[in-house]
Amino acid sequence: MFMKAFFVLMLASAFFVLTGCDEPVDPLEPDDPEEVTEPEEIEPPDHLPAEVELWIEQSKERFAAKTLEHEGVLYLLVTYGEKPTAGYAVEITEIKEDDDKVIVTAHFTEPGEDEMVAQVITYPFDLAMIDDPGLPVEFVATGAETEIPLQE
């Protein structure tokens, strides 16, 4: 009898816990899901246009965030500049579009103090591509950096 009552009690508790749980609310997310969208990222082709490749090559030595519109595509470039060792990285982690701007989040990583890294000069960067919405772009830094210098 005790086992049957215990089983019913456990089953009822599980039911109340599962039905009472809701997805957590992110305070940074807007109330209206139509206000912010995630534009579909374009898969990079095997070969970028020569103009875009030159733009990237000329940008890699500086720590900056840049945009380039080329043939209806908006290229989003975040460069970490020249670094003295391996272990530095930058990754565009999120692209969101709201009514008046595109927000690009980039995550920066540095090697740890005790981390063994190759002693080689590197130029970490990340490139993303979206259909050009014709909106200004705001870059947000996370990780090892708190802001990204903008460069025209």
Q: For 49-75, write each residue's pLDDT tens digit.
A: 999 999 999 999 999 999 999 999 999
Cα(69)–Cα(66) distance, rounded to whole angstroms?
A: 10
In a domain, residue 18? The reply is: no
- Number of structural domains the chain divides into: 1
Residue 8 covered by a domain: no
Angle at 93 between CA 33 and CA 83, to 5 degrees: 155
Q: Are 107 and 142 in contact (CB under 8 A)?
A: yes
* pLDDT < 70: residue spans in the chain: 1-36, 44, 152
The pLDDT, as a whole number, for residue 40 is 75
Q: What's the pTM value of the predicted model, to 2 decimals?
A: 0.73
- Region label for 71, one of left (φ > 0), alpha (ψ between -120 and 50) or beta (otherwise): left
pLDDT value at residue 77? 97
Domain that holds residue 97: 36-143
Residue 148 lies in a domain: no
* Total residue length of the chain: 152
Is the residue at 56 inside a domain? yes
In this structure, is residue 5 part of a structural domain? no
Q: Please report whether residue 6 resides in a domain.
A: no
